Structure 1
Amino acid sequence: MSPSEIAGRLLRWFILQEGWTRDSTALFAEMARGAPVVRFPQIPDAPGMWTVSRHDLVIDILNHSSFTTVEPKFPDPVRKKNPDFVEFFKKSLTFQASTDHRRLRGVLSGGFSARSLDRLRERTSALVDDLFAGLLADGGGDFVSKVAIPLPSLVTAALLDLPEEDWPMVTGWAQGMLAQLSTGYLGMTASVDPISVGQFRLLRSYVDDLVRQRANSKGSDVISRLAAAKAARQVSHEEVVDLVLLLFMTGVDTVTSGLSNSILCLLDRPEEWKRVQEDPGLCLAAFEESVRLLAPATFGVRTAREDVEFAGGIVRTGDVVMVAYAAANLDPRRFKDPLEFRWDRVQSTSLTFGHGRHYCLGARLGLLQGELVLRKLAETKVALGTPSDAVMWRNDLAFNSPAQLWLQFGAQSVVACAGDV
C-alpha cells in the first residue's frame, strides 16, 4: 500500500473502527514499513493528530520533554457519579510533573526489583496452577476469562501481601476500577460494572488501614516498603495510598492481553511450540518474542506543549501524537524479518512495555507471569479450540488481543499452522 492508502485505512480504523474485530497486525506492519509518520487532515477547532510508528521516532517522542501524557478527561456524568475516582486518577503517578514522577517512581521501584520478584515466583506458580485446574478438569475452555483476566489482579494481591481471605473482595474492586477507567475515560466496553463511589471509598479506606498497620513492619512487601518511605518523609501518606491503588490497575490489561497473545502466537507456530515443550527453559524468550510480534498495547498518546520540529514537519502546540508501540515492534529498520518468530532477537529494544520514564515498572512481573503460564501449558497437550482466523478480538483502541481464546486439552489441534501473523 502507498502511504496515502495506509493513512486512509488508519483513519477508517480510528474513526469508523474498521477492522477492530480482528487482529490488526498486518495494518501495524504496513504502518511501520510504509507510513512511519502520518499527519491527518486538520479538523476545524480540533487539535491536529499524528501517528508515529517508526521505532526510533517513537523513542524520540517518548524521550522528548515537549511531548507529555495527555491529561485525562472524564465525561461529565462520570465526574458527577464518581468524583473520588476521577480525582484519584487525574493526580496518579502517570500524570505527575517530572520531578514528582521521578521521586514517586523511585520510591516504588524497589518493590519490583529482581530479588523482590524472585520471592513471588513460587506463589505466582501456585496461582497459575489453581487457575488452570478448572480448565484442565473440563478439558478446555476460555483462557481469557478463566486465567488471563484474574491472574494479574491475584498476583498484585500477592505482591502487596494482602490477606488471602480479602483477595476476592479486593480483586473485584480492582476490576471495577479498570471498568470505570475503560468506560469513562478510554471509551471502551467492560465485562463488569464500573466501581461505584461507595465501593471506591471502601477500597481507599481498606488501603489506608493497611498502610497504617504496616508502618513499623519492616516487611519486604510493597506496602511495607512504601510505609517505610513515608516514615523517612520521602512520600506522604496520601501518596502511598494513591500508589497502592494505582497498582491494582497499572499493567493489568497489558498482562491479560500479553498472556493471550503469546499463546495464540505460539500455537499458530507448531514448530516453535514444540521447542518450548521440549525445553521449558525457553518459555521466557518465547513469551518476549510473542508479545513483540503481537504487542498487547497498541498505542500511547502524547500531546505537544509547544511547537516542535519533528520528522521534517512541525507538530503544533496541542497536537495529539499517537505513538504506535505495536507498529514500532514490527519496524524492519530495527527488527530483521519483523513478522518472523526469531529466537535470537535482542528483546531490550522491544516497546511492548513502553520506554523511558514511562517504562512499565511491573514489566518483570508481567514477564514472570508469561513465563509461568507457558511453562504450565508446556506440561499439557494443548491446542486452540477455535481456528486462529476465527478468534474473537477485543473491540477497542487500546489493546490488540483476543476477547476470547478457547483452548482444548488432550485433543489434536483444529488449527493448522497459519504461518506468520
Structure 2
Amino acid sequence: MALGPLELLTGVNGHARANVVDEKAIAATIAHRPAALDASKLKYTFADTLKPVPPPESLVFGQVMTDYMLVANFDPQNGWSAPEIKPYAPLTLDPTSSCFHYCTNVFEGMKAFLGPDGKARLFRPELNVARLARSAERTALPPFDEKAVLSLIKSLVKLESRWIPKPSGYSMYIRPTIIGTRPSIGVTASDSAMLFVVMTPTGPYFRTPTALSLLAVGESVRSWPGGTGGHKLGANYASGFLPQQMAAQQGYQQCLWLIGENVTEAGAMNFFVVLKRDDGDLDLVTPPLDGTILPGLTRDSCLSLAAAHPSKTTLHGLPNVRLHTHERPFTMRDLAAWCADGKLLEAFGAGTAVIIAPVGRIGYEGKDLVLPQHKGAYGPVTRALWERIVDIQQGRVEWEGWSALCE
C-alpha cells in the first residue's frame, strides 16, 4: 500500500512506526535526482578566430564542419551537465566506452535553410527530436527533454547562420548524436552518455539530375522483423557497406533492400513508386512502417502533400490528377509485373540528405527493370513533390507550420 508523507512518519491509522523515515534522507534523495537537460543553462565558449566559409560550389557533403559544436554529458549520479556550445574539436573518450564496443550510438539528420527574409529555419524539427528520443530509448540510453534539445539546436544554428549557403537547393546539414560513454567492456546498457551536435554546409546531394540505379539485394538484409530498422542507429548502417560496394562493382549506385521478396528501402532512403490507374488517377505507394523501415520525415511529407492534392493544395504540373496514397507491402515480382504492363511510371527515394532522388533502373535476378525516362530525370510526380518540399523548407511556401524559425 502506498503511504503519504505523514503516514511515512506516523504509521498507518496514527500508530507509530517502528522505523521512522528520516525527513532529511527523503530530502537528500530528492535533491540527488539526476538533473534533466536544461537549455537555460547553456554556456558558450567562443573561438579566437573563425574559419572562412567556403564558396557553395566547392562544398562536398559532410566534408567541412562549422566553427562550433554543442556538447552535453550524462552520468547516473548527476544527470545531464550544463550544455555547452564550444569550438569544434575532437572528442575525448575512454577506449572502453560503450559506443566503441556495443554500438550504443543514435543520431539524426536535419537541415537548416535561409528563407527569403534571411532568417534561419528548420524543417519539421520536432519530428527529428522525437525520433532521436525513440532511438535512444530503443538502445537503453539515458532519456532527455525533447524541447530542450530542440532549443539547443536552434541556438547553435543561430550562432552559425553565416554558414548556411544562400543558393536554392543548398542548406546546412545538422547531425545530433547521442553515444554511450560508460567506461567498461561489460555487456550492459550504458548509464552514461554524450549528446553532441555538429553541422556542415552542403549543396545538392547529387550534383547532376540523373536517375539512380538500384540493385535489389535479398541475401543481405538491412533490417528484420523485431529488429531496430525503424530507429536511426549507427548499427543499422555498417552492415550495408559491403553490399553497397558489391552493388557498385556491378554498376549500380545503391541497394534496394529486400526482406524475402518484399521491398523495404533504397540505400538509406524510403522508397516510393508511382502507378497508373485504370481511372486515370495515380497511386503513390510506399512500404508500410512495420518496424523494419525508418519512419522518414521526407516520407511522411511526401504522403501528406500527395494526399492533400488537389483539394487542399495543388502540386505544380499535376493540376487535374488525383494522387491516391498507399502504405502497403509490395514485392519485386509486383514491380516487374507493373513495369511489364506499363503501370510503373516513376520510382524515387526520399530522405533528408537527398530530399527526393529519382530511380531509373532496378537490377533484379540478372535483368534490369527500366523505368520510363523523363526530361531532367525527374518524373512529374517526383518533381512536383521535390519542388513543393524545397519551397516549404526554404520558406517560400507556408504549409502546416512545417518551417520553424530559429528565433
Normalised by the shorter chain, which TM-score bucket?
Answer: under 0.3
Q: Which has the higher strand share?
A: 2
Q: TM-score, normalised by structure 1?
A: 0.25
- Structure number with greater CO (CA < 8 Å, separation at least 6) is 1
**Structure with larger Rg:** 2
